[in-house]
Amino acid sequence: PLAEGEKDQRIREADGYRLKRINEAEGDVARFNSLFAEYRKAPEVTRRRIYIETMQDVMPSIQSKILVDDEMNGLLPLLNLDTQKGGQQ
């Protein structure tokens, strides 16, 4: 009886996992189709928007940021002044 119960539990867990994965995949497809429709209307605007959204997601988690400016041929470090010692907050 114990083994039978464990088997049933694992089957239910596997079925739940399967449904979760299917729902995630369907959501991903819907998002892609929506983005693709927007891209077909305005490729450059959509490309730039996706880039900006990605940077907004990624940049906050990066401790040290350095910008490369092609016109100045140099590196400009961005300092997070809130975390430096001795500075006013």
Residue with tokens 């959501």: 27
Residue 89 forms part of a structural domain: no
Residue 14 forms part of a structural domain: yes
**Mean of all residue pLDDT scores within the chain:** 85
Express as a percent the part of the chain with pLDDT over 90. Answer: 61
- Other CB atoms within a 10 A radius of the CB of residue 46 amount to 16
Domain that holds residue 6: 2-83
pLDDT value, residue 36: 97
Residue 45 forms part of a structural domain: yes
Q: Report which DSSP code applies to 73.
A: T
Q: Which residue has the higher pLDDT, 54 or 64?
A: 54
Residue 67 forms part of a structural domain: yes
Q: Report which DSSP code applies to 85.
A: T
- At residue 85 the predicted structure's pLDDT band, cuts being 50, 70 and 90, is low
How far is 40 from 77, CA to CA, in rounded Å?
Answer: 37
The total number of structural domains that make up the chain? 1
Could you read off the pLDDT of 16-56 as tens digits, one per residue? 999 999 999 999 999 999 999 999 999 999 999 999 999 99
Residue 61 forms part of a structural domain: yes
Residue 17 forms part of a structural domain: yes
pLDDT value, residue 89: 44
CA dist 48 → 51, 78, 79, 89 (Å): 5, 22, 25, 34
Residue 11 forms part of a structural domain: yes
Residue 73 forms part of a structural domain: yes
